[in-house]
């Protein structure tokens, strides 16, 4: 790698330290932007002109398996200096999935509730195999943020647990699975985004931990990832005012602001490199997120990040057409000028480029077998969403389902009975339909007489809902409680009203909490209370074809199978469920369901 580094120009080196997305593109002969599915000669030219060395994909890049495999092959063929690209994606599983086809898997919290680190390894392995099959070599996962703040709007079920040791062990297991499949894992968001109530996409969060508190809590999963050879770490745009004293003037309010971790040498060099011994690639979270972009200009932010110890700047500008070529050139010129005038030491550039090259070597990218695009596509079609992966996905989702209450109502008996299913959206009714169709096909269930009611944006019970409760033997309610847990929100007020009415007429109720587990306290009087930790939907095409390779939310169908008594739940809470008032405020000193709660079913 030293020989490769020695032959690179400064601009080529900087190209290795940049990663951009081309999720949307507007060619010069087109009148609007569209999803970027096919390599454009304009993009190819931009990559070659500016020596860009890496790319990140989003949902807008995934149309189908054949298309994305071909696109990634074209990305690799676009480089002219014989240095393969890192091609990354946020494929965490559960709530955060970019691929249009293949397995979504349960997501972190559902994996940890299963009580099996092997499940986390398996999820990482399947994810890695499917990503590698289509030509992706970096996964921006796992999130090893510790979700000890129930009001966290951005991490929540993306976290394994509120416990640092559970988070560490499951994060490391997933890391090992991903890297066993030949995909670099990325522990994020260093030094921890769990104890925040602000989303760094839209604002600048702060955590007031002391150094010792940080090292004994938020840092623990990252330290474990480093000990177990995690190849990459992603920094978070989070302030730690009690640890970092340096500040810059915010362009938003013209006042001094503490440097967020992404721009902090204290965090990225002193702690991450020197204290924890991380030798892999450090990549920023998107530099266009409001936590950075609304406070610090891109020129200053990029220089600060590099000097702090960052190896790759992620999405430090938006590229959507050739009109952005000049903007990209100016961004690179700014870094070149900073090196040439001594604001960034050349040694700082060289050490980062060497790390990037070493990760590319470790992934085998320089020695990748020469196979045709058609051969790559054929192999990808065999792997992505294959029968074995789907079976594992279904089992992992089922084992993560957590049963908190069972007052003689679970499993629900449907034989000769009428069942009412209240769901937030039609695509969650699809989840019930998918569960039924799979069980029908396997001969595990006879036809169920059910009626679905979709309550999206309805706050109060209407006559139709009351009549459905009155005429039904089984009442099943799917809830999708979001981060704002004020009880006046429709996604709480309506299902709560169904529970109250059903009880008033002597009916038992089963609640399936599909998203934030912290709503469990709202439904503690439910006769059956089941949690599945991910509200990702099921498209109609999957209901029609249960063997479809389309990606879909596998958690809710698994929960319905548990409710119907056709699958075994093993889940135990990995967070405390605290008391909550009607305004959605938590009293963390009063715990309704403690970490570890849950019961086996079937």
* Of the candidates 119, 129, 53, 54, the residue with the CA atom closest to the CA atom of residue 91: 129
Tell me which of 285, 311, 527, 576 is the catalytic residue. 285
**9 and 345 Cβ atoms separated by less than 8 Å:** no
Whole-number Å distance between alpha carbons of 88 and 57: 6
Collect contacts of 431-434 with beta carbons under 8 A, ≥24 apart.
431/478, 431/537, 431/538, 431/553, 431/556, 431/557, 431/560, 432/476, 432/478, 432/556, 432/557, 432/560, 433/538, 433/543, 434/538, 434/542, 434/543, 434/546, 434/552, 434/557
Alpha-helical segments (H) within 341-386: 346-362, 373-383
Residue 224 annotated as catalytic: no
Whole-number Å distance between alpha carbons of 239 and 262: 9
Query: Which residues, 6 or more positions from 330, have their beta carbon under 8 angstroms from its beta carbon?
Result: none
Tell me which of 201, 229, 324, 487 is the catalytic residue. 201
Strands 18-21 and 54-57, sheet pairing: parallel
Helix (H) or strand (E) holding 284: strand 281-284
Query: Which residues, 6 or more positions from 465, have their beta carbon under 8 angstroms from its beta carbon?
Result: 422, 453, 455, 498, 501
Alpha carbon 176 to its chain centroid, in Å, reads 17
Q: Three-class SS string for 245-275?
A: CCEEECCCCCCEEECCHHHCHHHHHHHHHHH
Whole-number Å distance between alpha carbons of 556 and 531: 9
- Give the number of C-alpha atoms closer than 13 A to the C-alpha of residue 535, restricted to the C-beta side: 18
Whole-number Å distance between alpha carbons of 443 and 446: 7
Residue 285 annotated as catalytic: yes
Query: Which residues, 6 or more positions from 270, have their beta carbon under 8 angstroms from its beta carbon?
Result: none
Q: How far is CA 94 from CA 233, 302, 313, 559, in A?
A: 20, 32, 26, 14
Whole-number Å distance between alpha carbons of 564 and 437: 13
User: Residue 52 has which token pair?
Assistant: 């860009």
Helix (H, G, I), strand (E, B) or coil at 134: coil
For the chain, the C-alpha Rg in angstroms (whole number) is 25
Whole-number Å distance between alpha carbons of 228 and 382: 31
Torsion angle defined by CA atoms of residues 16, 20, 22 and 26, in that order, rounded to the nearest 10 degrees: -100
Helix (H, G, I), strand (E, B) or coil at 361: helix
What positions carry a catalytic annotation? 201, 285
């Amino acid at each position: 790698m030293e020989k490769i580094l020695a032959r690179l120009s400064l601009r080529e080196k900087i190209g290795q330290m940049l990663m951009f997305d081309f999720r949307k593109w507007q060619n010069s002969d087109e009148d609007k932007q569209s999803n970027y599915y096919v390599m454009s000669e304009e993009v190819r030219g931009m990559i070659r002109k500016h020596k860009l060395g890496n790319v990140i994909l989003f949902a807008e890049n995934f149309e189908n398996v054949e298309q994305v495999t071909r696109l990634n092959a074209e990305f690799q063929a676009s480089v002219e200096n014989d240095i393969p690209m890192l091609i990354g994606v946020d494929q965490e599983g559960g709530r955060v999935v970019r691929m249009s086809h293949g397995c979504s898997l349960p997501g972190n919290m559902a994996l940890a509730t299963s009580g099996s680190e092997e499940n986390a390894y398996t999820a990482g392995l399947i994810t890695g195999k499917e990503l590698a099959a289509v030509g992706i070599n970096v996964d921006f996962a796992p999130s090893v943020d510790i979700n000890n703040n129930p009001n966290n709007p951005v991490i929540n079920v993306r976290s394994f647990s509120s416990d640092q040791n559970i988070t560490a062990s499951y994060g490391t297991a997933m890391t090992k699975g991903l890297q066993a499949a030949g995909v670099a894992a990325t522990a994020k968001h260093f030094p921890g985004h769990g104890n925040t109530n602000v989303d760094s996409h839209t604002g600048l969060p702060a955590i007031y931990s002391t150094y010792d508190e940080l090292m004994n809590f938020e840092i623990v999963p990252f330290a474990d990832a480093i000990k177990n050879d995690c190849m990459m770490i992603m920094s978070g745009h989070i302030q730690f005012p009690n640890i970092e004293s340096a500040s810059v003037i915010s362009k938003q309010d013209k006042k001094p602001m503490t440097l967020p971790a992404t721009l902090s040498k204290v965090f990225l060099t002193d702690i991450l490199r020197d204290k924890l011994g991380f030798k892999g690639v450090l990549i920023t979270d998107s530099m266009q997120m409001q936590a950075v972009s609304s406070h610090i200009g891109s020129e200053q932010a990029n220089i600060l990040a590099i000097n702090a110890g960052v190896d790759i700047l992620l999405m430090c500008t938006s590229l959507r057409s050739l009109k952005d070529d000049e903007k990209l050139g100016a961004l690179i010129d700014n870094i070149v000028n900073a090196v040439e005038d001594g604001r960034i030491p050349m040694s700082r550039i060289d050490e980062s480029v060497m790390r990037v090259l070493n990760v590319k070597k470790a992934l085998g990218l320089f020695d990748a077998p020469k196979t045709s695009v058609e051969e790559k596509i054929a192999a990808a079609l065999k792997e992505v969403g294959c029968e074995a992966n789907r079976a594992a996905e279904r089992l992992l989702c089922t084992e993560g389902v957590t049963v908190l209450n069972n007052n003689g109502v679970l499993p629900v008996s449907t034989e000769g009975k009428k069942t009412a299913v209240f769901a937030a959206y039609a695509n969650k009714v699809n989840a019930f339909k998918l569960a039924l169709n799979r069980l029908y096909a396997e001969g595990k269930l006879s036809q169920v007489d059910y009626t679905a009611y979709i309550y999206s944006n309805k706050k109060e019970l209407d006559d139709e809902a009351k009549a459905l409760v009155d005429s039904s033997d089984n009442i099943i309610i799917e809830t999708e409680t979001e981060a704002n847990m004020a009880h006046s929100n429709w996604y709480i007020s309506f299902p709560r009203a169904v529970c109250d009415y059903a009880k008033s007429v002597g009916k038992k109720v089963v609640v399936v909490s599909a998203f934030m587990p912290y709503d469990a306290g709202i439904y503690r009087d439910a006769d059956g209370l089941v949690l599945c930790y991910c509200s990702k939907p099921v498209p109609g095409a999957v209901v029609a074809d249960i063997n479809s390779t389309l990606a879909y939310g596998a958690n809710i169908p698994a929960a319905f199978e548990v409710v119907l008594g056709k699958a075994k739940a093993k889940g135990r809470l990995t967070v405390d469920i605290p008391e909550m008032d009607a305004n959605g405020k938590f009293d963390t000193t009063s715990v309704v369901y403690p970490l570890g709660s849950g019961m086996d079913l079937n």
